[in-house]
Structure formats: C-alpha cells, structure tokens
Amino acid sequence: MNKVVLMGAPGVGKGTQASQVAKYLDVNCMASGDLFRDHLSRETDLGLQAKSYMTVGELVPDEVTIGMVTQWLNKGEHSKGFVLDGFPRTIVQAKALDNVLNNGTGSLDRVIHIVAPISELITRLSGRYICTKCQKPYNLVSSPPLIENQCDECNAPIYQRDDDRSDAVKKRLEVYEEQTAPLVEYYVGSGLLTEVDGVGEIDEVRTTIQEVLE
Ligand code: AMP
C-alpha cells in the first residue's frame, strides 16, 4: 500500500497524520493547501488566483487545483507512491485523479477517512497555530509550544492561518459537507475507503492508520 489518500473535515488531523504516514511508507506527502500557500507566499499567478477563495474558506476551482496537483503527481519521484492530504475534495477532482493514475503509475491503494465530531473540529481549528517556517502545527489549548508564540523545533514564530478564524472555519465546514463528504460514497463504491476515529492521541490515531495500511 503506497498510494494513499487521507480525507476528513478541516481540523480532523489530516495534516499531522499525513506527514507521519508518508514517513512510515517512505513516500512523499502532498498537501494541496500547503502547495497553494507556497504559491501565495511567492505571489505566483496560481497563488493570486487561489487567494480570494482561500481567504474565505471556499474551494479553489477544480481546473486550477487539478492542474497544480497533476503537475506534482507527474514528477517521476512520486511514481513509487505518495500520501495525498486535502486532495481530492470534489468528485470532479477524484475522477481526475483516477485518470492521471490510470495513465501512469496505477490506481490508488487506500483512502483513509478520518472522522471526529463537529464540536471537536471547531475547538481544534480555532486554537490551531502553525510555525511560520517549518509548518509544525500547535494547538494553544491541547498542545501549546514550550515557549509562548515560538516553534519548539526551529524557534520561528507561530501564527494563526486567516482561514482558521471563525467565519472562515464555519464556511470551510459547510463546504466540506456539501462538496467533499460525497467522496465518501464514491470511495466506498470503489472498495477503497476505511474509516478511522480521529478522536484520541495523535499516536493512537497514527497506529490505527498504520494497521490499516499494513
Ligand atoms: P487546507 O490547508 O487543506 O485546509 O486548505 C486550505 C485552503 O486551500 C482550502 O480552504 C481551499 O481554499 C484550498 N484548497 C486546498 N486543497 C484544495 C482542493 N483539493 N480543492 C480546492 N481547494 C483546495
């Protein structure tokens, strides 16, 4: 199992788990949100196109997102496997992913759907801060940095994403229900989906995911 998608609502812990799962499988991890934020910080055309959607918590249009992710997938180094975090988020994106893989490296091995109650997601997102340099995530309530406002790993300042503020959080959760939740049925239909409980210690969730992938 080395071509894996992690899906789940915003705040469920996909990002944290995705990088650990990628290490475990010894493959690269692609977080579409990180790719967009990278474009945004470099002020590329793609970043400027994505900005207005990201700030309010809406999805970037499919054609833009699919173009960016296809470019990443088609790099030779990813042919042995990958973990995708945050892509696909619509049925159109899922079908595009199937097409790219069927024309190249073969189909997905597994889709892990991480689930948690909505009240938990809102608490997590509103307390979430991220390192400006290494992107390590913190939660001011449950896992604050050792020194206030400073990353434990690289000492850089931590910040709150614009779209983790309350209006955008509400919008992102609505968008998830409307546009991404239908993917559950899509992947159940193809026999690829496994649901994993996202409530609990990070290590517990990671172990459960690793067991699924063994
Ligand atoms: P994330 O870091 O995964 O929460 O993504 C942050 C934002 O980037 C989302 O709210 C969207 O605006 C945009 N984004 C990330 N991945 C996708 C995707 N697969 N499709 C459309 N927009 C996306």
Question: pLDDT, tens digit, for every residue of 100-141?
Answer: 988 876 789 999 999 999 999 998 888 999 999 998 889 898
**Residues within a 6 A CB radius of ligand 1:** 10, 32-33, 36, 53-54, 57-60, 65, 86-87, 89, 93, 163, 172
- Is residue 76 over pLDDT 80? no
The answer to whether residue 79 is domain-embedded is: yes
Question: Residue 180: is it exposed, middle or buried by C-beta count within 10 angstroms (0-12/13-18/19+)?
Answer: buried
Question: What pLDDT, on a 0 to 100 scale, did the predictor assign at position 126?
Answer: 87
The answer to whether residue 55 is domain-embedded is: yes
The answer to whether residue 19 is domain-embedded is: yes
Kindly report the protein residue whose alpha carbon is nearest to atom 15 of ligand 1. Answer: 33
- For the chain, the average pLDDT equals 92
Distance from Cα 14 to the centre of ligand 1, integer Å: 12
Question: What pLDDT, on a 0 to 100 scale, did the predictor assign at position 165?
Answer: 84
The answer to whether residue 195 is domain-embedded is: yes
Euclidean distance between CA atoms 57 and 60, whole angstroms: 9
Euclidean distance between CA atoms 76 and 127, whole angstroms: 38
At 79, is the pLDDT very low, low, confident or very high (cuts 50, 70, 90)?
A: confident
The answer to whether residue 137 is domain-embedded is: no
Q: For the residues 35-56, what does the mean pLDDT come to?
A: 93
- Enumerate residues 6+ apart whose C-beta is below 8 A from 78: 27, 28, 30, 72, 105
Residue 113 one-letter amino acid: H
**Which domain does 180 fall in, by range?**
3-116+176-213
The answer to whether residue 181 is domain-embedded is: yes
Please, what is the end-to-end C-alpha distance for the chain in angstroms?
7
Which helix (DSSP H) or strand (DSSP E) does residue 211 occupy? helix 202-213
What CATH number corresponds to the domain at position 72? 3.40.50.300
Euclidean distance between CA atoms 80 and 26, whole angstroms: 10
Residue whose CB lies within 8 A of the most ligand 1 atoms, among 59, 129, 159, for a mutation test: 59
The answer to whether residue 169 is domain-embedded is: no
Distance from Cα 189 to the centre of ligand 1, integer Å: 24
Contact 1/213 with Cβ under 8 angstroms? Answer: yes
Please tell me the total count of domains within the chain.
1
Q: At what angle do helices 32-42 and 45-56 cross, to 10 degrees?
A: 120
The answer to whether residue 26 is domain-embedded is: yes
Distance from Cα 34 to the centre of ligand 1, integer Å: 8
